[in-house]
Amino acid sequence: MTDTGPERKSAHIVVLGNEKGGSGKTTSAMHLIALLLHEGARVGSMDLDGRQRSLTRYVENRKAWAEANGVNLVMPDHVVIARSDADSVSEAQAAEREAFETNFARLALANDFVVIDCPGSDTFLSRLGHAVADTLITPMNDSFVDFDLLGRVDPQSWKIKGPSVYSEMVWESRKRRVMADGGKIDWVVMRNRLSSLAAKNKRRVEGVLESLADRIGFRLAPGFGERVIFREMFPSGLTLLDLREEGVEAQMSMSHVAARAEVRALLDVLQLPMPAAGAESAQPVDGQLATG
């Protein structure tokens, strides 16, 4: 381990992060996890929001539903890292760093991918997660409210005035990643809840995003539409990738088909290094949840 980050292992690290809630970050993380598992990859997952525990509850719901219904769903190798309650900042950060690096090292050694879900705020654990990313996905709602976490825009000319706080944090994470092992972070901004209408606001958001992407170095990816089905699946822990599995009784509507296509389109854009055919299969449903 080093001051700039844990020792790199073989897994590809995918981090989902921004500093705003309600952008579909956990839903995106769980669907990406499920898609990678269904593709035959070994997937570790890490929840860095020990307070809300949204990804952890999604995985727990999935495990409980599978056991109650006798269905063998693929499961990630999951851990949640709690924030330290130590009295001093230095003691708390030391404890959080140790928990993060210990769990990260194990997951990265045992899996093809590690998917890390960061809290929707600037925390020490979130910065640790960002600094180890190979691929950073930033989901955002398609609005100027969400755009503000990336950049500042002139309300008259709609020209970019400069990067905002989250973009600056990503820049610092990229520098820490280079210092740690010379690696690079592929930053992908994912536009969620896209409207099907060609509204003026939608075109303006798209235009300023393209300008900012060239300026600070991220790629754009189409995200998930505003579909109730994404939110309805949380209590069962299911994803759209599970609906055709044996024992999962669900009728596929056109909305389901379109949403599945959105998930697979995201994987195509990410261009992740998929494991070779014949690799060890994904984790079974009786995999354990761990707390850091």
Q: Which amino acid is at 282?
A: A
- Domain contains 5: no
How many domains, the chain?
Answer: 1
Beta bridge partners of 273: none
Residue 267 domain flag:
yes
CA distance 85 to 290: 19
The domain in which residue 28 lies consists of 12-291
Q: Which two tokens stand for residue 231?
A: 């939110």
Is residue 3 domain-resident? Answer: no
User: What does the pLDDT read at residue 280?
Assistant: 54
Integer Cα distance of 129 and 80 in angstroms = 12
Mean pLDDT to the nearest integer, 98-125: 95
What pLDDT score does 274 carry? 87
17 inside domain? yes
Residue 159 vs residues 166, 180, 195, 221: alpha-carbon distances, Å: 19, 35, 23, 21
- The CATH number of whichever domain residue 64 belongs to comes to 3.40.50.300
| One-letter amino acid for residue 136 of the chain | L
Mean pLDDT along residues 189-207: 70
Calpha distance 238→43 (Å, rounded) = 16
Say if residue 1's pLDDT is above 70. Answer: no
Structure confidence at residue 192 (pLDDT): 77
Whether 2 maps to a domain, the answer reads no
DSSP state of 236: G
| Residue 4 counted as domain residue | no
What pTM was estimated for this model as a whole?
Answer: 0.87
